[in-house]
Amino acid sequence: MKESVKIKENFTKSEMTVAVVKHIIFFIIGFASTKASVKGLMIPFGISFAAGCGRTFFPSISAGVFFGYFFPAVGSNGFRYITALFAVVAIKTMMFPYKKICKNPLFLGFITLLATAVTNVVTISSSPADTALYICESVLSASGAYFVCIADRGLNKSIAGLSNEETTSVLITISIIISGLMGVTVFSIRLGVILGILLILISSKFGGIQAGTVSGIAISVAAVMSGEHIDIALAYALSGLAAGIFSTLGKYVESAAVLISFIICRTLSGFNSSAYIALAENISASVIFFAIPKSMFSTISKYFAPFPKTNEKSGIKNGIHIRLNMAAEALKEVSKTTEKVSKELSRINTPSFSEILTKIEDDACIGCNNRKFCWETHRKATAYAIKEITKELRNSGSNDDRDLMDLKGRCYRFSKVYSATVKRYGEYACALDCETRIDEVRDVVCSQLYGISDMLYDLSNDFSKGENANLSLANKIAGALRNLDITAEETFAKTDKYGRTSVMIKIKKNPELVINKRNIMKLCSLVCELQFDVPTVSKTDDYIYIMLTEHANLKVEIGVDNISANKDRISGDAYNFFNDGSGHVVMVLSDGMGTGGRAAVDGAMASGLMSELIKAGFGYSCALKLLNSSMLFKSSDESLATLDIASIDLFSGETTLYKAGAAPSIIKQNGRCGKAESTSLPVGILSDVSFDTATVKLKDRDIVLLMSDGALTDGTEWIKSEVKSFKNGSAQKLAELICQSAGKRQQNNTRDDITVMAAIIQKAV
CA distance 337 to 754: 44
The pLDDT value given to residue 523: 87
The pLDDT value given to residue 337: 63
557-599 pLDDT per residue, tens:
999 999 887 765 678 889 999 887 677 899 999 988 766 667 7
The pLDDT value given to residue 292: 84
The pLDDT value given to residue 331: 58
Q: Which residue has the higher pLDDT, 62 or 467?
A: 62
Q: CATH classification of 554-763 is 1.10.3720.10, yes or no?
A: no
The answer to whether 389 and 421 have CB atoms below 8 angstroms apart is yes
Axis crossing angle, helix 251-269 with helix 191-225, rounded to the nearest 10: 50
As a whole-number percent, the residues of the chain with pLDDT over 70 amount to 79
What does the pLDDT average to over 730-741? 93
pLDDT bracket for residue 276 (50, 70, 90): confident
214-240 pLDDT per residue, tens:
888 888 888 887 777 777 778 888 888
pLDDT bracket for residue 698 (50, 70, 90): very high
Task: List the domain boundaries for the chain.
Answer: 15-157, 317-464, 468-549, 554-763
The pLDDT value given to residue 567: 67
Domain covering 468-549 in this structure, CATH number: 3.30.980
Q: What is the DSSP pairing of strand 703-707 with strand 488-495? A: unpaired
pLDDT bracket for residue 107 (50, 70, 90): confident
Amino acid letter for position 268? L
What does the pLDDT average to over 647-668? 93
140 has pLDDT over 70: yes
The pLDDT value given to residue 643: 93
SS (H, E, C) 156-169: HHCCCCCCHHHHHH
Q: How many CB atoms lie within 10 A of CB 640?
A: 22
What does the pLDDT average to over 661-683? 91
Q: Where are the beta strands (DSSP E) in 687-738?
A: 692-697, 703-707
Q: Which range in 93-107, 275-289, 641-655 is most confidently predicted, on average pLDDT?
A: 641-655
Q: Which residue has the higher pLDDT, 309 or 351?
A: 351
The pLDDT value given to residue 159: 46
CA distance 27 to 193: 22
What does the pLDDT average to over 261-288? 80
Q: How far is CA 657 from each of CA 586, 646, 665, 684, 754, rounded to the nearest angstrom?
A: 10, 5, 9, 20, 20
CA distance 466 to 455: 15
pLDDT bracket for residue 550 (50, 70, 90): confident
The pLDDT value given to residue 720: 93
CA distance 674 to 668: 6
The pLDDT value given to residue 654: 93
Q: Which range in 4-13, 185-194, 451-460, 630-639 is most confidently predicted, on average pLDDT?
A: 185-194
As a whole-number percent, the residues of the chain with pLDDT over 90 amount to 12
500-524 pLDDT per residue, tens:
888 888 888 888 888 888 899 888 8
317 has pLDDT over 80: no
CA distance 406 to 373: 14
289-316 pLDDT per residue, tens:
888 887 787 777 766 655 444 444 555 5
pTM exceeding the 0.85 threshold for the entire prediction: no
Q: Out of 8-12, 173-177, 492-496, pick the least confident.
A: 8-12
Mean pLDDT, rounded, of the chain? 79
Sign of CA dihedral 496, 499, 500, 505: positive
Q: Out of 32-41, 468-477, 483-492, pick the least confident.
A: 32-41
The pLDDT value given to residue 1: 38
E strand or H helix at 756, and its extent?
Answer: strand 754-763
What does the pLDDT average to over 321-325? 63
Q: Out of 23-32, 534-543, 721-730, pick the least confident.
A: 534-543
Sign of CA dihedral 326, 330, 336, 337: positive
What does the pLDDT average to over 15-35? 85
E strand or H helix at 109, and its extent?
Answer: helix 105-123
Q: Out of 398-402, 430-434, 686-690, pick the least confident.
A: 398-402
The pLDDT value given to residue 339: 62
* Contact partners, residue 607, CB within 8 Å, separation at least 6: 574, 575, 576, 588, 589, 590, 643
The pLDDT value given to residue 683: 87
Length of the chain equals 765
Q: Which residue has the higher pLDDT, 300 or 635?
A: 300
Residue 362, classified by CB atoms within 10 Å of its CB into exposed (0-12), middle (13-18) or buried (19+), is: exposed
The pLDDT value given to residue 16: 82
Sign of CA dihedral 84, 87, 88, 89: positive
**Helix extents (H) in 541-591:** none
387 has pLDDT over 80: no
User: Which residues is 658 bridged to in the sheet?
Assistant: 645, 693
The answer to whether 214 and 220 have CB atoms below 8 angstroms apart is no
4 has pLDDT over 50: no
The answer to whether 101 and 111 have CB atoms below 8 angstroms apart is no
555-564 pLDDT per residue, tens:
999 999 998 8
The pLDDT value given to residue 704: 96
Q: Out of 167-171, 242-246, 402-406, pick the least confident.
A: 402-406
The answer to whether 628 and 454 have CB atoms below 8 angstroms apart is no
What does the pLDDT average to over 691-700? 92
E strand or H helix at 588, and its extent?
Answer: strand 584-592
pLDDT bracket for residue 48 (50, 70, 90): confident
